[in-house]
Amino acid sequence: MHFASTCSCHQPTQVSGVAILRIAFIQETFNPFRGGSQKRVYELGKRLVRRGHEVHVFTVRMAEDWLREDIIDGIKVHRITDCSNYLTSDGLRNIYGVFKYIKSLSSLDFHDFDAVDVNHCPLFPLLFLGVKERGNVVGTFHECWADEWKKWTGNFLTAKIGCLLERASFLPPKICVAVSNFVKKRIMDSFGIDPNKILVLPNGVDTSVFKNSHASQRKEKVVFV
């Protein structure tokens, strides 16, 4: 499967003096799946499309009735890996599915994209593409586990390996995107990454969702998020 030319010096298309970018999101879980990182990529992607950019998402096909090639709100979706049990019953990744996804990614050429944004979770696609496509890879970090690997894995050896791999994942990307200042601080404090390499792009809120809400005005009511 081939989505791009082998040219490594791709220049953005100019339309009325404005650069139109080709952007690839490497996002293992995407529509119709619903989740946190999926929501971020979907909301970013459709807004980039509205601005005239060309947006592609390379993801996992987790159900037989999902199309392999799809267009959602202008986003070109490529479900490059078939894996119905990609997520386990306890919400973790099927390691076989992860490596199957990496194998699918390895057959693609991303040199003709202006930016390749890779979700940090799971770590392996970012590590792989960060080395393979070094020049234009951006890593998006929704969290930083650092010293909490032991808490989540329950195994000292697995936690140690996970922490080492996480540390390595910050090295290949040209830019590391953190979704909050808290995540940026965790990355800096835990792994000593140069703050100039970390860009904070917060998750947004679609305020139009709340336009038709009619909350009562009782003084004793407290609303929190």
What does the pLDDT look like over 150-187, one tens digit per residue? 887 778 898 999 999 999 999 999 899 999 999 999 99
- The pTM (predicted TM-score) of the whole model is 0.85
Token reading at 29: 């879980």
Is residue 1 scored above 50 in pLDDT? no
Is residue 7 scored above 60 in pLDDT? no
Confidence label for 14 from pLDDT (cuts 50, 70 and 90):
low
* Mean pLDDT value across the chain: 88
Higher-confidence residue: 92 or 127? Answer: 127
Is residue 16 scored above 60 in pLDDT? no
Domains of the chain: 13-207 (3.40.50.2000)
